[in-house]
Amino acid sequence: MSTAELTPEAVWDALRVVEDPELGMDVVDLGLVYDVAIDAGTVAVTYSLTSMGCPAGAQIEQDIRDVVGSMAGVAEVTTALTFDPPWSPERMSDDAKFVLGF
């Protein structure tokens, strides 16, 4: 992938390999990724967790950094954890809702 192909859509797609280890689903389908922004090789990912005390938080953040950082054209990855708005099951994809019984 060349730098010209480094798009927010490509980053969202790459983030599908990052799983919440407690739920066994990817952070995109769970609705935990809120925003992806790219500026001259720096990719900023704004994400949330299912709860403020999520024990997998540090692992999820590291996985986001590792996956996005391995993409061609990425010079730096920044992450921002937010609870505004708080995550809720309504943010999940229809597939995730089905699998988790919502």
Listed by start position, the domains of the chain span 3-84
Residue 72: its pLDDT value, please? 95
Per residue in 12-68, pLDDT tens?
999 999 999 989 999 999 999 999 999 999 999 999 999 988 899 999 999 999 999
Taken in order 29, 65, 10, 48, the sign of the CA dihedral is positive
Homologous superfamily, domain 3-84: Fe-S cluster assembly (FSCA) (3.30.300.130)
The residues with which 26 forms a beta bridge, in sequence order, are 19
Whole-prediction pTM: 0.92
> Where would I find the H helices in 1-102?
8-14, 57-69, 94-100
Give me 96's structure tokens.
Answer: 């995730």
Task: Report whether 28 contacts 37 (CB < 8 A).
Answer: no
Q: Is the pLDDT of residue 93 over 90?
A: yes
Residue 3's pLDDT band, with cuts at 50, 70 and 90, is very low
